[in-house]
Amino acid sequence: MEELDFTVETLGECKIESPIPLKNNMDEAHASFVNDNERVLYDIIYHEGSKNNRDDYVEGNLMEKAGARRHIYFQPNHVHAGIITCGGLCPGLNDVIRAIVRSLWYEYGVRRITGIRYGYQGLDPNNNLPFKELNPTNVDDIHTKGGTILGSSRGGPSIETRVDTIERMNLNMLFVIGGDGTQHGALYIADEIKRRGLKISVVGVPKTIDNDISFIQKSFGVETAVAEAVNAVYSAHTEAKGAIDGIGLVKVMGRESGFIAAHTALASNDANFVLVPEVKFELDGPNGLLEALDKRLERSFHAVILVAEGAGQDLLEASNAKDESGNKKLADIGVFLAQKIVEHRKKKGLPANLKYIDPSYMIRAAAATPNDSLYCARLGTNAVHAAMAGKTKVLISMWNYHLVHVPIGTAISKRKVVDPKGPIWKDVLSTTRMPLSMTNN
């Protein structure tokens, strides 16, 4: 088992009695506070004869359980909390904002809650973006809408400028809702806060529609994204079946991780080829995609291809361009594949009835499904519990179906990807019956 550090930083000793009316004894027939010594196992797999079957294997294998603490660090009526959303849109952003506001207001009695507009750009005084006062009234129904009422953006001013603004606002805690790049920024902010000797808690809620942050069992919005993508695949399948040698091509999100494509394929059972960044494929040659597609059409007269946006980038013209978050700008694999497939079919004198569907921005802007909304509510509420207890540089995660605290530095240390040798990809191969490999080596 790899050596991991799940140690969570705190601002200091918690001496203030929590205002939440929970019980202190877990044996009582009422909900109880969570103790700091309660842990969740990271690795629960039994390996015959290995270290993690001995009593000492728990060292480095324990994640701190999330939840309300009996004693908290901040005096609630002194708290000024800030909430910020960064990066691309994702279903559930408003749900998390709503949960944070309601927990601060109703559970802890916090009355100063400020929304920072348009991501980290809202912390740049040169942008002159007004802050938004938040309370239960103005977040009451936002969970029924897609997007974020605070707006979002990529990039932002220097870390020093961000912390200058946070300090001028007299914030005690900052809730950062965003993906890998956003959480890198949150960690830099927390480090600068610590360097200045300030007592400000920085708590992240991981938002990645690609589901690519490590030690996060599932990111919010993923379930909604899959549900929306399944509808697109259904449409592509219907179009393909209605034409001679019909081909449906659907592109979904997934820059470096193909979870949306893999889960959509398993949920729909209509995709015949699934292309993800983690598994290399070639177009030409006897084992390439085009030859496999021809064989499928000869056999079944229609085909559906599901491709993640980051798949097959080695087949396209390389570019060094980056967006404001520092992410490499991807070439459009969907348009490229559509063109190559049509050219290939026409060159062979075969029908080229292809319908291309790219629902990406419709998916990102969708309102969360009930299950996602529920998950967002729990993430937001537990983010508040962590901040009130003085936790900092920490993300709220679900792991082994428990909500836990994960240090931001640990979570962003590596990207989570689909394992080509793992059970999810094996199930995709089984469901689609696509070739095990589409390369010519």
Q: Which residues are annotated as a binding site for ATP?
A: 88, 154-155, 179-182
The pLDDT value given to residue 22: 84
Ranking 48-52, 212-216, 285-289, 351-355 by mean pLDDT, the lowest is 48-52
Whether pLDDT at 418 is above 90: yes
Look over the chain and give the mean of its residue pLDDT values, rounded to a whole number.
92
Q: How does residue 323 score in pLDDT terms, banded at 50, 70 and 90? A: low
In contact, 63 and 406? CB cutoff 8 Å = yes
Is 222-364+420-432 in CATH node 3.40.50.460? yes
> Beta partners for 62?
41
Q: Which of 95, 210, 245, 372 is catalytic?
A: 210
The pLDDT value given to residue 317: 76
Whether pLDDT at 1 is above 70: no
Whether pLDDT at 53 is above 60: no
pLDDT in tens, 192-245: 999 999 999 999 999 988 888 999 998 999 999 999 999 999 999 999 999 999
Dihedral (CA of 108, 114, 119, 124) sign:
negative
Cα–chain center distance at 269: 24
Q: How does residue 58 score in pLDDT terms, banded at 50, 70 and 90? A: low
The pLDDT value given to residue 255: 92
210 is catalytic: yes
Secondary structure of 288-330 in HEC code, one letter for each residue: CHHHHHHHHHHHHCEEEEEEECCCCHHHCCCCCCECCCCCECC
Whether pLDDT at 56 is above 60: no
Q: Which residues are annotated as a binding site?
A: 88, 154-155, 179-182, 208-210, 253-255, 309, 361-364
Burial class (CB in 10 A: 0-12, 13-18, 19+), 434: buried
pLDDT in tens, 367-390: 999 999 999 999 999 999 999 999
Q: Is 174 helix (H, G, I), strand (E, B) or coil?
A: strand
Whether pLDDT at 60 is above 70: no
Q: Where does the chain hold its CATH 3.40.50.460 domain(s)? A: 222-364+420-432
The arithmetic mean of pLDDT across residues 310-320, rounded, is 83
**Cα-based distances in Å from 249 to 118, 270, 295, 331, 339:** 34, 12, 17, 16, 11
The pLDDT value given to residue 49: 63
Q: Is 134 helix (H, G, I), strand (E, B) or coil?
A: coil
- The dihedral formed by the CA atoms of 155, 158, 162 and 164, expressed in degrees to the nearest 10: -170
Q: How does residue 45 score in pLDDT terms, banded at 50, 70 and 90? A: confident
Q: Where does the chain hold its CATH 3.40.50.450 domain(s)? A: 51-219+368-399
The pLDDT value given to residue 163: 98
CATH number of the structural domain 51-219+368-399:
3.40.50.450
Give CA–CA dist 233/127, Å, rounded: 41
Ranking 181-190, 252-261, 308-317, 323-332 by mean pLDDT, the lowest is 323-332
